[in-house]
Structure 1
Amino acid sequence: MGASDWTEIVGATEGVTDAYTAPPDLNECRLHYAQIDERDASVTLSFETSAFPSNPPAAWTGKEYNTVEFYLKFTGVSKLRVTGWIFSARDARVTLRVHGDERVGVTVEAPGSHLEFMASTSFLARMRSYLAASE
């Protein structure tokens, strides 16, 4: 399953699937950050995209937004492995896969950076839009 099919793997993605006809491909988004929380065995990945939805939430209508940020939270994390982590990971390749026991395998790779883990649950934790400065 490709990175553009991630809404079929991650649970509770209605915010994205209601707003987008086709959800943004994770590999075309910038990885804003990765947060590992050992207290509740979770990993949160935040992505940014300039691909604005065709059906944005009503609260976004009429605003000058040009960037969407969404957070995917993975809980019940096990088999966590991090091998290096550098700034270029923002342009990482993200792979999600379902395992037979309904667990989600996640791999985030960029030159000099590698993050890999298994999660028992995953969901869209937050989605917001804002006006980002031009680069």
Structure 2
Amino acid sequence: MTTSDWTSIINSTEEITSIYATPPNLRECALYYVQIDERCTSVTLAFETSSLPSNPPRSWAEREYNTVEFYVKFTGVERLRITGWDFTARDAEVTLTSLGNEGVRVSVDAPGSHLAFTASSSFVTRTRPFLSSRMS
């Protein structure tokens, strides 16, 4: 998967593609949040990147930031499997595989951690800039 291939696999990525000429490479982003919602059969993954947008929204103009977080929500989740969950999951490799009209297969792998599922739909739900002491 190349740097921006993930945006062609996710159903709706306007939140990212409107602000980045070249979207952040998921392999260079830190996974910092995972929410599994059994009521809505959804999984939300959130990422942090120090790759700053080439076309930030006007609302970000007055803010000082060195990091952008973005959330990707997967709905219609099936075949959810979790094997362990270790603190190293933050450095996990996230792989998205298109299933065509069937949706997307998601795999999150790090030593001691594995999360996998399929989803019928996916979209970027939020982007937010902030000043991180880890990124300085």
* TM-score (norm: length of structure 2): 0.94
Structure 2 match to 1:108: 108
* Cα displacement (A) at 1:2: 3.7
Deviations 1:8-51 (A, max 9, x none): 01121111101101000111000011111101100000000111
Q: Hey, what's the Cα distance between the residues in 1 that align with 2:128 and 2:100?
A: 33
Confirm whether residue 99 of structure 1 aligns to residue 127 of structure 2: no
Between 1:27-36 and 1:56-65, the stretch displaced more is: 56-65
Return the alpha-carbon distance in structure 2 between the equivalents of residues 67 and 2 of structure 1.
21
Provide the rounded CA distance (Å) in 1 between the counterparts of 2:132 and 2:80.
32
Once the two structures are superposed, the pairs formed by residues 1-135 of structure 1 within 5 Å of their partners are 1-2=1-2, 4-134=4-134
Give, in whole Å, the separation in 2 of the partners of 1:55 and 1:8: 19
C-alpha displacement of 1:3: 5.6
- Pairwise CA RMSD: 1.3
Query: Aligned AA for 1:50?
Result: S
Give aligned-pair identity as a percent: 60
Query: CA 1:54/1:3 → structure 2, altered by over 3 Å: closer, same or farther?
Result: closer
Runs of 4+ displaced beyond 6 Å: none
> What secondary structure does 2:45 align onto?
strand
Distance 1:3 1:109 in 2: 18
Structure 2 unaligned residues grouped into runs of 5+: none
1:76–1:119 Cα contact (<8 Å) kept: yes
Q: TM-score if structure 1 supplies the norm length?
A: 0.95
Q: Which ranges in structure 1 are unaligned for 5 or more consecutive residues?
A: none
Partners of 1:70 and 1:115 in 2: CA distance? 19
Distance 2:100 2:124 in 1: 22
